[in-house]
Amino acid sequence: MAQAEEHADAEDVAISGYLYLLLGGSETKSLTEVSDHRTPIQSLNQAAKAERTEVAALFWEVSYFFNKDQTAVYLGSIPGLISDRSSYFGIGIKQRFENGTDVNVGLIPPLSLFNRQVWQDPYQLKRKRQKTDLETAGVRLAVETLMGSPWSFYYGYTHEKVSQERSGESALEPLERSARAALKRSGDQHSVEVDYVVPLSESFFIVPRLQFIRANAQGKAFRYDRAGSAVTLLYQQDTLEFDVTVNYSVARFEERHPVFNRVRKDEGVSVQSELAFIEPFGWKSVRVSGLFQLYAKHSNIRFYNEESILAGIGLSYFY
């Protein structure tokens, strides 16, 4: 959504923003992601079946500029905090300094309307698993083009609370209280990212990234460190934009998982690409794009393996 921030720099504009409508479809293979098709799982070692769903999502932002357009307060969608592929509702403030630094601070309030969902007990077998809310609150700090340089820094903090945590309660072999406590997913998460823009020409850019996430869950089996790297190839012209991003990460968990009796390790790979047409057919302030995402996570605990594909068309309007 960087295009929205660039658009907001226009002179003599007190209020600006964007609307972004994404329509498409996805296919997911996962035993842990919440699904409307709550078919009971028969084994914790079974392979996940592919589930196809339609995607319809609306992202938006409204900004009010003052201080000669150097400062803005805004309300709307905030990008995911590095560690996930989601977007959140939030409020924030943006400041552009004379040395070229852009600072953006966004707050994510704990609003139940925007809660995501997880399974109460992901390990329940042969009966339909029940959903529960995942309450999220946090803050996101972005320091971009530091002192006019190619460096940008991002920090995210989130606190997540599973409303009805029942992990391990339905185990075939009853778990001790300490083992069930190790499965509690609520907790805090800190995310850090560093970007550097390398221009190859007036239109081509490469953006390498380094990422680190620390998750401090209540349950020891869900505490982990995740280190990752990514690279984006970006092409920009007045009427055309194209980008492709490849990301790789490794998450190492601290304690043995009491259900599977081993210490978990995940490896994740994702590829995302977007082709956008700026003001096609002379449509003023309109951006039309095609989006493709591929994500795969391989774990030494098969239960946590995951694959997903998403393809869609995005329509943006800037004002």
Cβ neighbours of residue 57 under 8 Å, at least 6 residues apart? Answer: 21, 22, 87
pLDDT at 9: 45
pLDDT at 3: 44
Q: Give the closest residue to 219 by CA, choosing from 280, 252, 177, 272.
A: 177
Residue 262 and residue 253 in contact, taking contact as beta carbons nearer than 8 Å: no
pLDDT at 13: 61
pLDDT at 130: 94
**Mean pLDDT for back-to-back runs of 10 residues, the chain (319 residues):** 45 82 96 86 93 93 92 88 66 96 95 88 93 94 96 95 94 83 96 97 97 97 97 96 97 96 97 97 96 97 97 97
- Dump strand ranges (E) for the chain: 15-30, 50-66, 71-79, 87-96, 102-108, 116-119, 131-144, 151-162, 187-196, 198-199, 204-217, 224-236, 240-257, 262-278, 286-299, 306-318
Quick check: helix, strand or coil at residue 221? helix
Residue 31 and residue 48 in contact, taking contact as beta carbons nearer than 8 Å: yes
Q: Please count the other Cβ atoms lying within 10 Å of the Cβ belonging to residue 231.
A: 14
pLDDT at 111: 85
Residue with tokens 């995942």: 134
pLDDT at 96: 95
Domains parsed from the chain with CATH numbers? 2-318 (2.40.160)
Q: Please count the other Cβ atoms lying within 10 Å of the Cβ belonging to residue 23.
A: 13
Q: What angle do CA 37, 267, 210 make, to 5 degrees?
A: 120
pLDDT at 8: 43
pLDDT at 6: 46
Total-model pTM: 0.89
Report d(CA 228, CA 314) in Å as an integer: 28
pLDDT at 84: 52
